[in-house]
A = this chain, B = another copy of it.
């Protein structure tokens, strides 16, 4: 078996909770969760869904699959309800894809902590391909082609590439030209594209161009998404996948449905009720998404500025709630403090500065590079009142609890980097 470790982000979150319970003051930037209250209409739908105690269809009932079809269709991906499978989160769907589709997996490096371990559980080999300089979540196209060809020369069989735009950990949208280039390589090398678009509705500026691989190579792209990030429902576990039309897509979808029927049966009925409502995107949901995206942009932007001022190199985040600084430009200061790798950087930031971040090494990045992910969504507050205030104000950076956290981060990194 691949490991005995709990996923590092979940493990760090548990550690921070433990240390805070012991009275330690920690600025928690270590967990990829949108820490905002449940939007009231979603709670109402959960209540309305309570009578749904029957198993129902594996893929989800028709109403929820119609809502998801509408969601994708409005995003230039015409979708029939037959193409949709619901699940308790997008994680089980990503795992099912890895179990069902034979061959090895290519991942952008760095990427979300879970793609790699899932591939290992599924008995696959993982090939990491560096991301470009200006964004994350997609492998640099030429390096992707080279990696696939070299792997095949060595007898491996890369067959899947996972893309994630906007991405975790860099918080950036891949530009359409780059998406087209990557899709061209996928076509050329006959790769299935798994496009994890769970941060799509959190682009800070709605005018940022977004292109899904499913618009470019529709027959070879599975899109996965969920409500964990966009509607702050991580703890409710609602995910969905859109499979391609055509013979290959249908075969993969039937395989995932088969796996689902043996492993999770179906998404819980009350959660299907919530999903049918949310993916239908009534005006109040659209307004909520827009509000939250602005909040994420403001706070991620502020942390980005702090990191740049402290001397870090950093891609400018334009979606989601992550910043991925690289402290290499101030490497001399780190080495003087005996910080020579990413894991040590994470540990010392927590122990000496009370700042919890996740080392780049956990995202598959070079373990010697002093990089880490800061999840800025953890700064909205520890109480529902603070979080609601952050959503309601035009200038979240001036809220006392957010300003204080940003000050603490600035002080810590000024000290660390000098």
| Residue ranges of A at the interface with B (Cβ–Cβ < 8 Å) | 1-7, 10-11, 13-14, 31, 33, 35, 37-38, 42-43, 46-47, 50-58, 88-89, 91-92, 95, 99-100, 102, 114, 117-118, 121, 123, 232-237, 251, 254-255, 257-259, 261-271, 384
Contact = CB atoms under 8 A, between A and B. Distances in A.
B271 A10 contact: no
A233 B54 CA distance: 7
B262 A114 contact: yes
Given A114-B262, A117-B262, A265-B89, A37 B51 contact: yes
Among A235, A264, A267, max chain B CB count under 10 A is at A235
Contacts of A237: 88, 264-268
Contacts of A1: 99-100, 102, 255, 258-259
Nearest to A3: B258
Nearest to A236: B268
Contacts of A269: 235-236
A330 to B, nearest CB: 33
B38 A43 contact: no
A278 B67 CA distance: 32
Nearest to A4: B254
A10 B228 CA distance: 27
Contacts of A118: 262-263
Given A88-B237, A92-B263, A92-B264, A6 B58 contact: yes
Given A4-B251, A58-B6, A268-B268, A235 B52 contact: yes
A88 B92 CA distance: 11
B47 A46 contact: yes
Given A89-B265, A263-B118, A265-B10, A55 B33 contact: yes
26 contacts: A1-B255, A3-B258, A4-B255, A6-B58, A6-B258, A7-B58, A10-B58, A11-B261, A33-B55, A38-B50, A46-B46, A46-B47, A51-B384, A52-B235, A53-B233, A53-B236, A55-B234, A89-B264, A91-B264, A92-B263, A114-B262, A118-B263, A121-B263, A235-B268, A237-B264, A268-B271
Contacts of A3: 258
B46 A266 contact: no
A264 B88 contact: yes
B264 A121 contact: no
A202 B265 CA distance: 22
Contact of A264 (B57, B100, B264, B265): B264
Question: 9 closest pairs, A vs B, by CB?
Answer: A7-B261, A235-B269, A43-B50, A6-B261, A88-B88, A53-B235, A237-B268, A4-B254, A117-B262
Contact of A50 (B46, B117, B257, B261): B46
B6 A263 contact: no
A263 B55 contact: no
A417 to B, nearest CB: 31
Nearest to A38: B53
Contact of A266 (B52, B123, B235): B235
A2 to B, nearest CB: 8
A117 B100 CA distance: 13
A356 to B, nearest CB: 15
Contacts of A268: 88, 235-237, 268, 271
B88 A121 contact: no
Contacts of A254: 4
Given A33-B55, A38-B51, A236-B270, 20 more contacts: A1-B255, A4-B251, A4-B254, A6-B258, A7-B265, A10-B55, A10-B265, A14-B57, A43-B51, A46-B50, A55-B234, A55-B235, A92-B92, A95-B262, A121-B262, A123-B123, A236-B268, A237-B267, A264-B264, A270-B270
